[in-house]
């Protein structure tokens, strides 16, 4: 596996909200349902298929704490995508007081 570069939550949030990156959440459906970063795209790690990601922008992978997202980012780097691993995952995102929402836009939690 290729190791992907990492990115901190503040930089990732700026890039995501500014449309300069795709935030790809690779957690399980129940984790996603509890709460996610606004604007993130959900593809569980077991379903990750690099050709379907197809982004010209950097793709920032996120999971709960960073293990699954590191694997996902490595997989996407092998496929020659500009992938980065979010340091600390959604746990770090929430600890930085960045928004976590449910599918209906209500406040969410990191499960």
**CATH code of 24's domain:** 3.40.250.10
pTM attached to this predicted model: 0.95
DSSP string, 14-49: HHHHTTSSEEEE-S-HHHHHH-B-TT-EE--GGG--
In a domain, 82, yes or no: yes
In a domain, 100, yes or no: no
Coil, strand or helix: which one is 59?
strand
In a domain, 41, yes or no: yes
Which among 64, 67, 55 has a CA at the least distance from the CA of 37?
A: 64
Provide the residue range defining the domain that includes 63: 6-95
The total domain count for the chain is 1
- Compute mean pLDDT per 10 residues along the chain, 111 residues long, and list them: 90 95 97 97 97 90 95 95 97 97 96 79
Task: Give the pLDDT confidence score for residue 65 in this predicted structure.
Answer: 94
In a domain, 108, yes or no: no
In a domain, 25, yes or no: yes
Residue 101 Cα distances to 23, 41, 53, 87, 109, angstroms: 14, 13, 23, 20, 7
């Amino acid at each position: 596996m290729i190791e992907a570069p990492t990115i901190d939550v503040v930089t990732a949030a700026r890039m995501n909200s500014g449309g300069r990156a795709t935030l790809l959440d690779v957690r399980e459906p129940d984790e996603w349902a509890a709460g996610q970063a606004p604007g993130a795209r959900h593809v569980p790690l077991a379903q990750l298929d690099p050709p379907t990601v197809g982004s010209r922008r950097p793709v920032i992978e996120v999971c709960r704490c960073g293990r699954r997202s590191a694997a996902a980012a490595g997989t996407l780097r092998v496929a020659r995508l500009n992938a980065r691993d979010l340091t600390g995952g959604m746990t770090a995102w929430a600890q930085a007081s960045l928004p976590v929402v449910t599918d209906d836009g209500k406040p969410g939690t990191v499960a």
